[in-house]
Amino acid sequence: MTPIESIYEIQSAVSSLASYTSSRDAVVLKKVQVKYLELIDRFFRENANFVEPEQREACLHDKDYFMNLMDDTVEHYYLEVGE
């Protein structure tokens, strides 16, 4: 799997989790939190050369920021290939 494919897979998984965030079930919400954290960790592990560790904290609290960061990273990969 290429880095870009991996990012798209992470984005898809994050989008899928959104449908569970309105659940009133504490167990479901905890599982969503754990999965979201795993996705953030995977993204930062796989893209350590393009993102700063400090950005991780913002991703933990802002899904939109995380999604935008992934978009920016994909763009960076495309620009890198074009050079």
Q: Are 50 and 56 in contact (CB under 8 A)?
A: no
Return d(Cα 75, Cα 79) in angstroms, integer: 6
Convert the pLDDT of each residue in 24-66 to its tens digit: 999 999 999 999 999 999 999 999 999 999 999 999 999 999 9
The domain ranges of the chain are 3-82
**Averaged pLDDT, 62-72:** 97
State the pTM of this model.
0.91
Return d(Cα 45, Cα 51) in angstroms, integer: 10
Tell me what pLDDT residue 19 has.
Answer: 87
Q: Please state the separation of Cα 60 from the chain's center in Å.
A: 9
Is the model's pLDDT at 83 over the cut of 80?
Answer: no
